[in-house]
Amino acid sequence: MRLVIARCSVDYVGRLSAHLPLATRLLMVKADGSVSIHADDRAYKPLNWMSPPCRLAESDGLWRVVNKAGEELRITIEEIVEELSYDLGVDPGLRKDGVEAHLQELLAANPTTFGNDFSLVRREYMTAIGPVDLLCRDGSATVAVEIKRRGEIDGVEQLTRYLELLNRDPLLAPVTGIFAAQEIKPQARVLAVDRGIRCVVVDYDKLRGIERDELTLF
């Protein structure tokens, strides 16, 4: 990553033409070759940029960034105020909070979320068409739990197929289903109820033991 704070003007020459008059800006050159020009506002969005593949050629007071289509970003530099280069290394990528795998882990550790008599039999209980997220017992009854971050019709259909297979096993039958998610779409809820599947909206923060700061009436 190369960061340059400079007084510069910028011209974009290509399918569209654009001009940025002289001002102090941040020039960012990334390892993938991309070049972007930023002002001290607009959050993450640059004023102008060139995406890779492109090449950067520097001469006295002029940067020319050209892509494979021949479009050009011309940065005329009057003064460089500060410059820094740093190798950030390979980024592991964004890990979203509350994804299905983490919800499954939390619910497996807390099966009584579904009822006082619930206990876990197995996570990822394998069937011929894929694994059921959780196989539980409600007292002596078997329950299959499908977990989604956002519950939609496809998830209900998926659980329905699992239940059809599980109920063919005399050691497990009868098997009922629970569709668990942080949010369940109205259409998915209607379909689940029609098929005898119980819907449970999961409070992710409560599972993690996080108390909300908002005031509530009850």
Amino acid in position 32:
D
pTM of the model: 0.56
Confidence class of residue 217 from pLDDT cuts 50, 70 and 90?
very low
* pLDDT single digits (tens) 107-156: 999 999 999 999 999 999 999 889 999 999 999 999 999 999 899 999 99
* pLDDT single digits (tens) 52-76: 899 999 999 999 999 988 999 999 9
Residue 186, preceding bond cis, omega within 30 degrees? no
* CA distances, 27 to each of 39, 75, 77, 86 (Å): 9, 9, 10, 14
Of 30-39, 107-116, 189-198, 204-213, which range is least confident?
204-213
Cβ-proximal residues to 124 (8 Å cutoff; 6+ apart), any chain: 131, 132, 133
Domain ranges of the chain: 2-85, 100-207
DSSP 3-state helix, strand, coil percentages of the chain (rounded to 5)?
Answer: 20, 45, 35
Q: Which class is 100-207 in CATH?
A: alpha beta
Topology of the domain covering 2-85: Protein Yojf; Chain: A; (2.70.180)
